[in-house]
Amino acid sequence: MKRFIQTIRNIYKIEDLRKRIGYTIGIILLYRLGSYVVLPGVDPNQLANLQNQTSSGLLGLLNMFSGGAFSNASIFALGIMPYISASIVVQLLGMAIPYFQKLQKEGESGRKKINQITRYLTVLITGFQAPGYIANLISQLPAEAITPFDPSITSPTTFFWVSSVLILISGTLFVMWLGERITDKGIGNGISLIIMIGIIARLPFALFGELISRMEQKGGGLVLFIVELAVLMAVILLSILLVQGTRRIPVQYAKRIVGNKQYGGVRQYIPLKVNAAGVMPIIFAQAIMFLPLTLAGFAESETLSGFAAAFTNVNGFWYNFVFALMIIIFTYFYTAITINPNQMAEDMKKNNGFIPGVKPGKRTAEFIDQIMSRITLPGSLFLAFVAIMPAFASLMGVTGQFAQFFGGTSLLILVGVVLDTLQQIESHLLMRHYDGLTKSGRIKGRSSINMG
C-alpha cells in the first residue's frame, strides 16, 4: 500500500503524465455519458424488451462491447465495432492489393491515406448496420415507444429512419474520434481502452446478477459463487501469463572486428513473445463473428434457423469452433505483421551481432522465423482455448453475462489493455527516474497496434 501511494505521488509530480491521465479520464467519462443518450424519438422508459433481448447470447456480447449503449438505444449503440471491421478489411487488403502494400511502405503519408480509407469504410459499414439495428429496435418496442418529435405520431416515419441512421453513423465516428484523441493526447491505445471501458461497465451488473442467481438456489449457492470467483482469478492469472510469456534468443555483439575475427563483445537477448499479436486476434475474430448477426438484422438467435442460428449461438459447437480457428489464423497474421525476421537479421548484421551457432543474414532470419512459428502455435492454441471458455462456463450453469468474463474476448481484452496502459505509465515514470509500478520496474504489456 505504501508503494502504491508513493507511485500515485510520483505520477502527480510528472505534469505531462498527470495531464495525459486526466485527459484520458475526461474522454472516457464523455464516452460513458454518451452511452446513455437515447436516440431522438425513442421513449427510454419502454426499453425493457430490448434490454431482455440483450441480456445473453451474441447480442449480450455485442451489448457488452458497447458498454450497454446497444440496449439503451443510445446514439453510440453500434459502438466502435464498425471501425474494427473496417480495419480488418483494410489490413487484409494490404496483403492482397499492391496499392495498399505501397501505402504501407510510404511511412507517415501512407498511414494517413490508410486512416482516411478506413474512416470512409467505417461510414459504409455503419450505414449498412444501422438500418438493421433500427429495424430490430422497432420490432422490440411497443408502438407507443417511438414518437418521432410528435406525440400524435405512433409509428416510425421516414424522417425517423433517416435521422436515426445518420445519428448512429455520427455516433460511431465520434467514438472513433474519441479513441484517436486518447491515443494522441492521453495514455494507452484509445480504441482498445474504449472497448475495455465498455466491458468493465458491464462487470458489476454481471457479478451482481450471478450472486443473486446463486443465492436463489437452495443449498450451496454461496459456496458455488465463491468457487466461481476463485476459478475466475485463476483464469486471469493464466491470461496474464499468456500476455507476458516470452522466449529469449541470445545475441552476441562484437566490440571490434579485425579481419574475420571478433574481439570483445557483449551478450544480449531478443525477447520473442509467445503472443506477439496481443489481443488484436480476439478483437478482429469477434468482429467477424458478429457478421451473421448483422446480416440477420440483429434478430434473436431463437428466431433464426440454419446457418444464421448456428453462428449466433455463442454456446454452440460451430460458433466456438470457427471462433477458435479464426483466432489462431489472426494470431499468425498479426505476428507476421509485428515481427519481421528479415529486418531483425539485417539490424543484427549491421551492428556486428550474431546468434551463436547461426550464420548472419538469411540463416538468422530463417532461424528467428522458425522460433516464432514454434512459440506462436502453442500461444495461439491457448489464446483460442481461453476465448471459448465462456461456453464451458455456461454449460456449468453460470449466467450468460457473467460467463463472458470466464476467459473469452472480454477477459483477454481487459488483461491485455490494462497491462499495456500500465506499461506506458511505467515508461513515463522510469524515463524521469522515478520508481516504477513494480519492484523490478518492468511490466510486460501486449504490443500496441494502432488500428488506424
Q: Encode pLDDT of 289-313 as tens digits.
A: 877 766 666 655 555 556 666 677 7
Residue 450 in domain: no
Is the per-residue pLDDT at 8 higher than 90?
no
Segment 423-447 shows an average pLDDT of 62
- Percent of the chain exceeding pLDDT 70 equals 82
Whether 34 is in a domain gets the answer yes
Output the pLDDT for position 420.
80
The pLDDT, as a whole number, for residue 173 is: 93
Tell me the pLDDT tens digit for each residue of 73-98: 899 998 888 888 888 888 878 777 88
321 or 106: which leads in pLDDT:
321
Res 169 pLDDT > 90? yes
pLDDT surpassing 90 at residue 248: no
State which of 63-72, 169-178, 398-407 shows the largest mean pLDDT.
169-178
CA distance 365 to 349: 11
What's the confidence (pLDDT) of residue 451? 47
Q: 212-217 — which CB contacts under 8 Å span 24+ positions? A: 213/399
Place 151 in a pLDDT band, splitting at 50, 70 and 90: low
Confidence of residue 449 (pLDDT cuts 50, 70, 90): very low
d(CA 302, CA 276): 38
Question: Is residue 443 in some structural domain?
Answer: no
Spatial distance between the Cα atoms of 72 and 63, rounded to a whole number of angstroms: 9
pLDDT at 314 over 70: yes
Q: What does the pLDDT look like over 360-407, one tens digit per residue?
A: 888 888 888 888 888 888 888 888 888 888 888 888 778 777 777 776
The number of domains in the chain is 1
| Average pLDDT value for residue range 17-40 | 90
Residue 251 CA: distances (Å) to CA of 5, 121, 261, 275, 299: 39, 43, 17, 21, 56
* Residue 325 domain boundaries: 15-431
The CATH number of whichever domain residue 106 belongs to comes to 1.10.3370.10
Distance, in Å, from the CA atom of 401 to the CA atom of 415, rounded to the nearest integer, reads: 18
| C-alpha span between 214 and 251 (Å, rounded) | 55
In a domain, 153, yes or no: yes
Domain assignment present for 439: no
Higher-confidence position of 219 and 361: 361
C-alpha cell at 137: 429496435
Model confidence pLDDT, tens digit, residues 230-243: 888 887 887 777 76
Q: What average pLDDT does this structure show over 97-107?
A: 82
- Answer whether residue 9 is part of any domain: no
Classify residue 332: in a domain, yes or no: yes
pLDDT attached to residue 121: 92
Please give the pLDDT value at position 265.
64
Would you state the pLDDT for residue 283?
77
Which residue from 124, 125, 419, 109 is spatially nearest to 243, judged by alpha carbons?
419
DSSP 275-304: TTTTTHHHHHHHHHHTHHHHHTTS--GGG-
Average pLDDT, the chain: 79
pLDDT of res. 257: 52
pLDDT of residue 153: 52
**Structural domain includes residue 44:** yes
pLDDT at 14: 79
Tell me the three cell numbers of residue 195: 472497448
Q: Which of 80, 68, 395 is nearest to 202 (CA)?
A: 68
